[in-house]
Structure 1
Amino acid sequence: MDLILLHDKCDNQLPKPTGNNQYLSPTIQKDVADCFEEEVLNSIFKDIGDDVFALLVDASSDVSKKQQMAIVLRYVDKRGLVIERFVGLVHVMETSSLALKSAIDCFFATYGLSFIRLRGQGYDGTSNMRGEFNGFKAKILEENKSAYYVHCFAHQLQLVVVTDAKKHLGVVNFFDNLSILMNVVCSSCKRTYMLRENEKERVEKEIGSGILETGSRLNQELSFIRPGDTRWNSHYKTLIRLVDMFSSIIRVLICVRDECSNPSSQNQAIKMLAYLNSFEFVFYLQLMLHILGLTDVLSRALQRREQDILEAVSLVETIKDSCTNIEKMDLINF
């Protein structure tokens, strides 16, 4: 809404461009973006006012391998609603606690924020963030003892799933083969296009035979997405896509096996075709779909903007009971 009002305001105040004055040069476009950023941030800080707030920070690298820190403020507005607002993406030379603290100090000084008003901080569980003595959390607590630290519940869940999965060689082997499969199928634009065309042909055939229904938002183009390293809900999405696109993936592997001029790729395609037809693959696929399906429900619930604590606790207990039942069935050693 703020962006729309600002856009209307700019339309009313700026004169109509004439000739080559189209305001399209990179410098002018950057100035316009900076103006939008300033107006949006001023609106957010005005909404916070002199009230207290919590700080959420996460550091990661972009596609160009530059380290950057995302900053989010969490507060309660005048209507009593819990609000989270993304307020900045700051480039940092390193992700040490000192470097992150220095970047936060500069950000707070720029926008007139005070650590005295800080009542909470939430990060992931890495040592540079939650370290007891030298972590980013500890640096904040040195300035304000009331800035209580809370480890992101959704991230804790991800870490539990990752740790448990790495303890079982069968699961590790399953996801290692899944990574190889994605490298073979999606390693080039040609194979990606082939997969897309095969999938399009499959959908058209199933619609014609009445297997698939048609309607708004149905049968949209799918892609075989690569899962993230720690975001295991992304693994769940990858497995769902694997099931949906299985026949198309098989056709691409057969094409690579029969027509590719690279012996290494041919060998990988042959191994993948054998693995995808094995009992081991089918077993672990169904097992991980079931387990990750349970944890995905909990993960999405923990990341909801309006969190119901009692509902979340109840859901955690339900998921734990379901996982306990799986363990009792001793499916892993079946």
Structure 2
Amino acid sequence: MKLGHLADEGYKDWKNISRCLSLHETSKDHIDCMTSWIELERRLRKKKTIDENIQVAINKERGHWKQVLKRIIAVVQRIAKNNLPLRGDNEKLYVENNGIFLQLIEMIAEFDPIMEEHLRHVQERSIHYTYLGPKIQNELIQMLAAEVRSLIVAKINHAKYFTVILDCTPDASHEEQMFFVIRCVDDSENAIAIEEFWIGFLKVNETSGLGLFTELKNILNNLELDIDNIRGQGYDNGSNMKGKHKGVQSRLLEINPRAFYTPCGCHSLNLTLCDMVKCCPKAMSFFGVIQCIYLLFSSSTKRWKIFKDHVQGLTVKPLSQTRWESHVDSVKPIKDQTSKIRDALIDLANISDDSKIKSEAEGLTSFELENFEFMFGMVIWYKLLYEINIVSKFLQAENMDIDIVIRQLKGLISSVQEFTESGFDQALIEAEHIASEMGIEPIFREKRIIRRKRQFDEINSEDVTQSPKESF
């Protein structure tokens, strides 16, 4: 039996195998096979095989698609970085309102030959996959988000200990969503700094303490973050979050007693201001007038033009519904430009054909802007909101330091105490100055005293009467 048939038929002459192997190594068949193998190895190393042309075409096609995807990813990345929508009313190339994504692709094609060639194939329908549709856009956004999230998680794992911050708000589709923020020490750069990383929005169906805590545990498990490494938790003052027995903070403390809970300082300050205003009818009336002035001018382009003709400085602004300390931005334009805004209201009342608008403008002029009590309250509220807004900005700073905040709060308390002692007279002087510039008499208007009917067994004593100034 020939040794060449060993693989097919086997070999059994083991006594003569050495001689047969020597004969086989010098045979023509073995030399031809070894020559072919060495030649193939050399061609494979130099990529000179029989399918060289096919491989060149494949590599060229691969390189082309790689360059196309690099440009598409860059476009998606820039649009997402600026929080802009990708798609428009149409998803076809070179049509109106086809969205920012396709518009940028078309612009790149004007200067880039690779993208120009790609769009030419798309227009000619010579390729089936274009990588320009909404599906690939969403996939690229998800891939980019996953990459960013993985880098954030790596930093958090490197820091080991972290703080969780949660808050809920309804979105435009009236569904409850909870944003998830993690705060940790980032020492990856040269300077060590405290960083806050927004992880994402979590859709929640159950807003109770148990439901929100379950969502928190699920996202931590998905990110492979250990709940035992939490060293802080910060929420607002809602009962489902700060609840002593069934809130999120208490449920987390049951698992991890070292997760110290700190309520949101800005939210606490905001609630304090809300309670201050609700317990004072004059304050509620004052801010109602501020909002009415804004709505009266902003509800019509013609009325807004009248306002701009008289007021060239700061424009009136609406009252914020969530951040009370920002009311200072609504009070400041009226305080600094009271006479000009009064002139705009008078002009509006004179030229308006709408009886309702005319009545509102005259009422705001006569009973509010020309009322010394309104001016006095405006001065007081501006001073108060200005000081509180400074403290609120410190509380919202990323590099907030507890010592600085304590100093700011102490300064705010001392300012309030100083104002209660001597601020009334100072504000009165400032209000009188504004009134004199507007030609308004700086007096507090007399109001009719409503006397309660006495019962027959009540002591007939004289009521203690206060002057309008003392009452204010």
1:108 aligns with 2:216: no
> The residue matched to 1:329 in structure 2 has which SS?
helix
Change (3 A) 1:241 1:69: farther
Q: Relative CO higher for 1 or 2, CA cutoff 8 Å, sep ≥ 6?
A: 1
Q: How far is the alpha carbon of 1:57 from its aligned partner?
A: 0.9
Matches of 2:335 and 2:288, distance apart in 1: 17
Letter in 2 for 1:58: D
The one of 202, 205, 212 aligned to 2:312: 202
Matched, 1:119 2:231: yes
TM-score, scaled to structure 1: 0.80
Distance 1:193 1:104 in 2: 50
Shift of 1:289: 0.8
Q: Report the Cα distance in structure 2 between the residues aligned to 1:248 and 1:304, rounded to whole angstroms.
A: 36
Q: Percent identity?
A: 26
| Structural mapping, 1:4-43, within 5 Å | 10-11=73-74, 16=115, 17-19=118-120, 20=122, 25-43=133-151
Aligned residue among 155, 177, 181 for 1:68? 177
Q: CA deviation at 1:281?
A: 1.6
Query: CA offsets, 1:217-256, max 9 Å, x none?
Result: xxxxx65332223412210111123345656644553454
Q: Any stretches of 5+ residues in structure 2 without a counterpart? A: 1-69, 76-104, 106-113, 124-129, 425-468
| Distance change in 2, residues 1:179/1:31 (3 Å) | same
Equivalent AA in structure 2 for residue 80 of structure 1:
I
- What RMSD, in angstroms, separates the aligned Cα atoms of the two structures? 3.1
Q: What is the DSSP-based 3-state SS (H/G/I as helix, E as strand, rest coil) of the residue aligned with 2:207?
A: coil
| CA distance in structure 2 between the aligned counterparts of 1:8 and 1:127, rounded to whole angstroms | 49
* 1:191–1:42 Cα change, 3 Å: farther
Matched, 1:183 2:309: no
Preserved CA contact (<8 Å) 2:290 2:330:
no
Does the CA-based 8 Å contact 1:185-1:249 persist in structure 2? no
1:166 alignment partner, one of 273, 278, 293: 278
Counterpart residue type for residue 171 of structure 1:
A
Alpha-carbon distance change, 89 to 254 in structure 1, aligned in 2, over 3 angstroms: farther
Deviations 1:266-286 (A, max 9, x none): 322221122122112211111
Distance 2:207 2:290 in 1: 31
Aligned to 2:324: 232
Secondary structure of the 2:333 match is: helix
User: Partners in 2 of 1:27 and 1:119 — Cα distance?
Assistant: 40
Q: In the alignment, which residue of structure 1 is the partner of 2:378? A: 285
Distance 2:337 2:140 in 1: 43
TM-aligned CA deviation for residue 141 of structure 1 = 1.8
Q: Find the counterpart in structure 1 of residue 153 from structure 2.
A: 45
Rounded Cα–Cα distance in structure 2 between residues aligned with 1:247 and 1:38 = 56
1:326 maps to 2:419: yes
Which one of the candidate residues 268, 287, 307 is aligned to 2:360?
268
C-alpha contact (below 8 Å) 1:191/1:252 kept by paired residues: no
SS of residue paired to 1:47:
helix
CA distance in 2, matches of 1:30, 1:255: 54
Question: How far did residue 80 of structure 1 move?
Answer: 3.4
2:312 aligned partner, one-letter code: R
Q: Secondary structure at the match of 1:225?
A: coil
Alignment partner, residue 302 of structure 1: 395
- Check the 8 A contact 1:202/1:248 in 2, yes or no: no
Cα distance 1:59–1:256, how it changes in 2: closer, same or farther (>3 A)? Answer: farther
Distance 1:64 1:320, change over 3 A: same
Q: Deviation at 1:123?
A: 0.8
Equivalents in 1 of 2:419, 2:224: separation in Å?
53
Task: For 1:312, give the aligned amino acid.
Answer: V
Counterpart AA for 1:59: C
Change (3 A) 1:40 1:279: same
Change (3 A) 1:198 1:92: farther
Q: In the comparison of the two structures, how many residue pairs are matched?
A: 308
Distance in 2 (alpha carbons) for counterparts of 1:180 and 1:94: 38
CA-CA distance at 1:33 after TM superposition: 2.5
TM-score by length of 2: 0.58
Structure-1 separation of matches of 2:348 and 2:175:
36
1:75 positional shift = 0.4
- Mapped contact 2:157–2:225 kept (Cα < 8 A): no
In the alignment, is the contact (CA less than 8 A) between 1:162 and 1:230 conserved in 2? no
> Highest CA radius of gyration, 1 or 2?
2
**Pick aligned residue for 1:83 from 171, 195, 200:** 195
Q: Which stretches in structure 1 are left out of the alignment for 5+ residues?
A: 1-6, 204-221
Query: What SS class does the counterpart of residue 132 from structure 1 fall into?
Result: coil
The offset of 1:94, in angstroms, is 4.9
